Amino acid sequence: MNYLTFQRGGRRLRLLAAVVAGALLGVVPGASSEAAKKSGYAIGTDTCGSGDLAFPRIQLDMKAGFCAGLVASEEDRLRFPRAIIQLPGRDLFVVADMGGWGHADGRLLLLDPHAPPGQRFKELLTGVEYPFGLVVGPDKKLYASTAETIFRFDPLADNPRGTVETIIRHMPGRRIALPDGTRIDDSAHPLKPFVFDRNGRLFVNIGSHDDDCVTPAPIAKPCAAAEGASAMASIWLFTPPAGGVFPALTPKDPDPPHRVYARGLRNSMALALHPNFPDAGYAFLQGENGRDLPDIFKPNEEINAIEPGRHYGWPYCTDVSTPSPQFRRVLQTGVYKSLCTANALYKPPLSLMPPHGAPLAMLYYRGGRFPELEGKLLVGLHGYRPTGSRILIYDVDDRGFPKPSPAPVHYHVSCVADPTRSFQTDAGEVAAAPFEELISGWHRVNGVRPQGAPVGMTVAEDGAIWLVEDKNRTVIRIDRAAGDAAAPLPCEARSQAMIDQLAAFVARDAQNTVRLTTLRKSLVEKHCAGCHSDFGLKPGQSETDKDGAALRFMLSQDGWIYPGDPDAGRLRTRLRGLGAEKLMPPGGEHLPKTEPGYTRLLDTADLLVAKMVPGTRMRIKSGPPQRKFFGRTNKECGEIPAAKVVVVTQRSAVDKPGFSRFFRPADSYLNGECTDDDGYYIRQEFLVPVQ
């Protein structure tokens, strides 16, 4: 018997479908309404790689000499891929597909990149709760994690489930009890990335139970969940018996003992050991995911040099020695007196990283394919802000530590007026380790590429870099490319003029004005503000200004709202828990039962979106998979799939006979040729009323 957190009787999915199909038509930026699309990427005949490891090349802003190939996509029924590892001596990979947040239907998949499209994936284990960590252990076996366990198994066995051996169990998972007896059904950071050192010791991330351990009043006691022998917000160390390999646990065995190796680490999703660790002086690095403050530039993320027994600040310190005002009483006396500024227990960051970048992967590159990367540190920034969606390259010293430079040190910010910014804290500019960017960003360009969110990353035995990114549900392989780097593609988000126009539509509609106020008061202010942003709400704003700020914030978020089509937007899927992303607000699955009128509130959000633009909601007629649409001057703007909903503002367009003018805008269906913010045109016969 094993102790995996399996969901019995869960639905099984069929083998994953085709990765790429047939010969694809050519594509250049902004010029391909006929290009094939995979997970939102426009792809053509260009490939990345060679032989049967040549995959459709996708367009990213990349360092010269590198390219990215799309190995698998959401069309292969990937739902939420989060980690990838190669099996030793085999050109096969295991992918952890978490399924989504709030689910226990994660899977471990076997990927054969040499197999024909449609036959590249095989399900190994299903019904796994939050699979994330994937590591080849000191015994060359494959180890994986759930929210509460670490186990090993044989992915090549006829029955992989029958080979599962749990070695660690009963770690704090999704459902936990805090020291004061409070029970949490969905802890904020339940994932368990882990690493082995050369001696077989096992280091595991035990993430914090929430963002900041803060209650409304200033706090007089240390954060209880981060204290004691089983502290959260820490790294736990498990030491194997003689021989360096953990035994499989039986029901009668006691849980393996652990010790808290380092504390004050909010969520250690990115861990990297130098190959010579634990020899004296060699690096054990952690990438810290900092607090979710609403300021886009506060706090910075961190690279920490982990040492046993040290405290790294959470929740009392941010950035470099910046005390948290909520804990000023804790920092005045006791063991944490002056922790952030004058206490030997605290170890400040080795370097800052871009704020809110969310480092979820970190490794030292070892491989012959890219000599210029040999020995360097690669860090993937998952990120929800303009500082994320990229892969960083750090030079390191002989012991594996990134090398800080004096201030100012600059980093890039995607799609903003000022594209560079120096590392700063409340005290001003600070030193930091400079870096290059292997991938500079996946920021949205309509019809050309989606935003991306890299998570798991590994170096294959042939030296190629493989990664998974969960926003677009893809597996990507990075290889050598000839020639210079392609020119960066332009940023093209919903313009401020478009946001202003949509806000004006709402302001002129009395019913939608009431709907917006209701949503702002009963949903945004009550449940959402402060989770990842303040929604633009500031002290001293009038009620009208608050409504406008909340609406503009929602309209500026990628894919949240498609006017006229509430079913298509991420706002609806996140509020109702219909997709892989975290439910918004956290714990929202209970609100329809515990809060009277909450379901009606969600319906109000749908109505606001559906009626945002004055006009008639109509559906693209079935028939060909795509219907072309045009600008006023007959320029082809893109293709929109059958069954999509648009708002028709002129059934018979006065300036284009035979066409209807519609407003969506089409967003991902644009090919980049058109910037007509006030409408697009499609043949009248391609539209049918919404039933």
Q: Which amino acid is at 6?
A: F
- Asked if residue 290 and residue 409 are part of one domain, the reply reads yes
Euclidean distance between CA atoms 117 and 71, whole angstroms? 9
As a residue count, the chain comes to 691
The whole domain housing 641 covers: 616-689
Do 295 and 406 fall into the same domain?
yes
Q: Is residue 24 part of a domain?
A: no
Statement: residue 101 has pLDDT above 80: yes
Q: What's the whole-number mean pLDDT along residues 630-634? A: 86
> pLDDT grade, residue 12 (50/70/90)?
very low
Residues 627 and 606 in one domain: no
pLDDT tens, position by position, 213-262: 987 667 889 999 999 999 999 999 999 998 889 999 999 999 999 999 99
| pLDDT of 16 higher than 70 | no
Q: Which of 128, 98, 96 is nearest to 111 (CA)?
A: 96
pLDDT band (50, 70, 90) for residue 18: very low
Of the candidates 682, 675, 639, the one whose C-alpha atom is nearest the C-alpha of residue 34 is: 639
- Reduced to 3 states (helix: H, G, I; strand: E, B; else coil), residue 445 is strand
Using N-to-C axis directions, what is the helix angle for 598-610 and 510-519, rounded to 10°?
140
Q: Which of 72-81, 298-307, 410-419, 582-591 has the highest mean pLDDT?
A: 298-307
- The distance from CA 160 to its chain's CA centroid, rounded to whole angstroms, is 29
Is 64 in the same domain as 104? yes
Question: Which of 436, 451, 480 is at the close of a domain?
Answer: 480
Q: What is the pLDDT of residue 507?
A: 96
CB neighbourhood size of 45 (10 A): 13
* Residue 95, CB-side half-sphere exposure with 13 Å CA sphere: 33
Q: What is the pLDDT of residue 415?
A: 80
State the CB neighbour count (10 A cutoff) for residue 508. Answer: 10
Domain assignment present for 284: yes
Q: What is the CATH number of the domain that holds 234?
A: 2.120.10.30
* Sequence-distant (≥ 6) Cβ neighbours of residue 541 within 8 angstroms: 549
- 123 and 151 share one domain: yes
The answer to whether residue 2 is domain-embedded is no
**Is the model's pLDDT at 368 over the cut of 80?**
yes
Q: In 3D, which of 78, 73, 59 has the Cα closest to residue 446?
A: 59
- 184 with 101, same domain: the answer is yes
SS (H, E, C) 31-53: CCCCCEEECCEEECCCEECCHHH
Q: What angle do CA 332, 337, 340 make, to 5 degrees?
A: 105
pLDDT band at residue 677, thresholds of 50, 70 and 90? Answer: low
Query: Would 12 be classed as within a structural domain?
Result: no
Output the pLDDT for position 384.
Answer: 72
pLDDT (0 to 100) of residue 256:
95
Distance of CA 557 to the CA centre of its chain: 15
What confidence tier does 506 reach under pLDDT thresholds 50, 70, 90? very high
pTM for the complete prediction?
Answer: 0.85
List the structure tokens of 498. 């478009």
Are 390 and 261 in the same domain?
Answer: yes
- Pair 196, 245: CB distance under 8 Å: no
Count of domains observed in the chain: 3
Q: What is the pLDDT of residue 190?
A: 96
**Domain-embedded: residue 471:** yes
Of 572 and 586, more confident: 572
CA atoms within a 13 Å half-sphere pointing along the CA-CB vector of 195: 19
pLDDT at 532: 66
Cα–chain center distance at 2: 30
Q: Tell whether 307 and 418 lie within a shared domain.
A: yes
What confidence tier does 5 reach under pLDDT thresholds 50, 70, 90? very low
Report percent pLDDT > 70 for the chain. 91
Residue 19 predicted with pLDDT over 60: no
Residue-wise pLDDT tens digits, 174-217: 999 999 889 998 899 999 999 999 999 999 999 999 999 987 66
Query: What is the per-residue pLDDT for 634?
Result: 84
The answer to whether the CB of 447 falls within 8 A of the CB of 42 is yes
Residues 138 and 230 in one domain: yes
Residue 439 lies in a domain: yes
Is it the case that residue 580 has pLDDT exceeding 90? no
| Domain co-membership, 555 together with 461 | no
> What integer is the mean pLDDT of 58-73?
92
- Asked whether residue 462 falls in the same domain as residue 582, the answer is no
pLDDT of residue 126: 97
Please answer whether residues 82 and 468 qualify as being in contact, where contact means their C-beta atoms are separated by less than 8 angstroms: yes
- Judgement on whether residues 474 and 566 belong to the same structural domain of the protein: no
Give the sign of the dihedral formed by CA 15, CA 17, CA 20, CA 23. positive
Q: Is residue 23 part of a domain?
A: no
Residue 444 lies in a domain: yes
> What does pLDDT average to over the chain?
89
- Residue 13: pLDDT above 60? no
Alpha carbon separation from 152 to 142, 146, 162, 194, 494 (Å, rounded): 6, 11, 11, 13, 46
Of 88, 60, 76, the C-alpha closest to 461 is 88
How much of the chain is helix, strand and coil, in % rounded to 5? Answer: 15, 30, 55
Question: Alpha-carbon distance 371 to 579, whole Å?
Answer: 40
The domain that contains 659 carries what CATH number?
2.30.30.40
Last residue of a domain, one of 559, 578, 610: 610
Question: Has residue 26 got a pLDDT over 60?
Answer: no
Please identify, among 585, 610, 635, the residue that sits at the C-terminal boundary of a domain.
Answer: 610
CA angle 148, 152, 153 (to 5 degrees): 125
The pLDDT of 676-691, averaged and rounded, is 86
- Residue 207 burial (10 A CB sphere; 0-12, 13-18, 19+): buried
Residue 22 — pLDDT band, cuts 50, 70, 90?
very low
Of 82, 192, 92, 194, give the one whose Cα is nearest residue 135: 194
Distances, alpha carbon 413 to alpha carbons 225, 443, 579, in Å: 35, 10, 28
